[in-house]
Homo-oligomer: A and B are copies of this chain.
Amino acid sequence: MKQLSHYLTAMRDQTPLVQNITNYVAMNVMANVMLAAGASPAMVHARGEAAEFAGIAAALSINIGTLDDEWADCMVLAATAAAERGMPWVLDPVAVGATALREEVAARLIALRPTVIRGNASEILALAGTVAQGSGADTGDSVAAAEGAANRLAIQTGAVVAVTGAVDFVTDGRKAAHIAIGDPIMPLVTALGCSLTGVVAAFVAADAPFEATVAALTYYGVAGEVAAETAHGPGSFQVAFIDALHAMTGDALDARARIAGVCSPRFVS
């Protein structure tokens, strides 16, 4: 894996147009996060244009957070278009274990071979067919408990699987990395996980999926640590976090990650 700054710079140089089909809660902050990072987000989900737009985008992210039948169909249309073009796309299976509708839609989408699947521990356990303890968008399981499920899911689907939490875990079924960076206040700001999925999509537009995912998660966590230095609570954290994503240079990313010990991810098996 190259220095982290390589992946950030490659993404910014491309300013990838990323189509996002995401939930209502996340749309605004996700767009701001992606703009701050250096991508060009577009929230395009309608039946009449989701597939057509996938023809001009550089990557696609799909998040099932606020779901209904119409949206589910549009997600399938866009993911099908992405798969046909060989365009990378990232799946965020929000609260997949909570209702039958979510399980069914997630299964339809996974059949369309996402490049990356990013979820919390409960979601990844649910996707891998394990009984999970999450409810709603929050997780009741630890990342460590989901590592085996993540590896199995990666092998079954061919996707890079990222389990995010206090310590992130990324695997493609053959190699894996842990990323222990970020701040405990991050789960108290809504849609930061959803927004991360968009950032992963932007990085994956420019580089190989496993390395790009590791770089995106590390960049995100480092920005979280920078933001926490000045924040007074979840409100000011969100503001400082967007500022930090924007201000982060490649050099600062490499230096911060080295201090935190994540410059050389441990690769497993």
Chain A interface (Cβ within 8 Å of chain B)?
17, 19, 23-29, 31-32, 35-36, 40-49, 52-53, 56, 65-70, 95, 98-102, 135-138, 187-191, 232-236, 238-247
Contact = CB atoms under 8 A, between A and B. Distances in A.
A244 to B, nearest CB: 7
A36 B185 CA distance: 10
B40 A235 contact: no
13 contacts: A24-B27, A28-B190, A32-B238, A42-B137, A43-B66, A48-B67, A53-B98, A56-B135, A233-B244, A235-B241, A235-B242, A236-B239, A238-B239
Contacts of A236: 239-240, 243
A35 B99 contact: no
A100 B24 contact: no
Contacts of A245: 233
Contact of A101 (B23, B26, B49, B68): B49
Contacts of A187: 35
A96 B245 CA distance: 29
Contact of A31 (B42, B95, B190): B190
Nearest to A104: B48
Nearest to A101: B48
A69 B95 contact: no
A49 B137 CA distance: 14
A239 B247 contact: no
Contact of A191 (B24, B28, B136): B28
Contacts of A49: 67, 98-102
Contact of A47 (B23, B26, B69): B69
Contact of A40 (B43, B68, B138, B232): B138
Contact of A243 (B45, B67, B233, B244): B233
B67 A46 contact: yes
B36 A25 contact: no
A137 B17 CA distance: 10
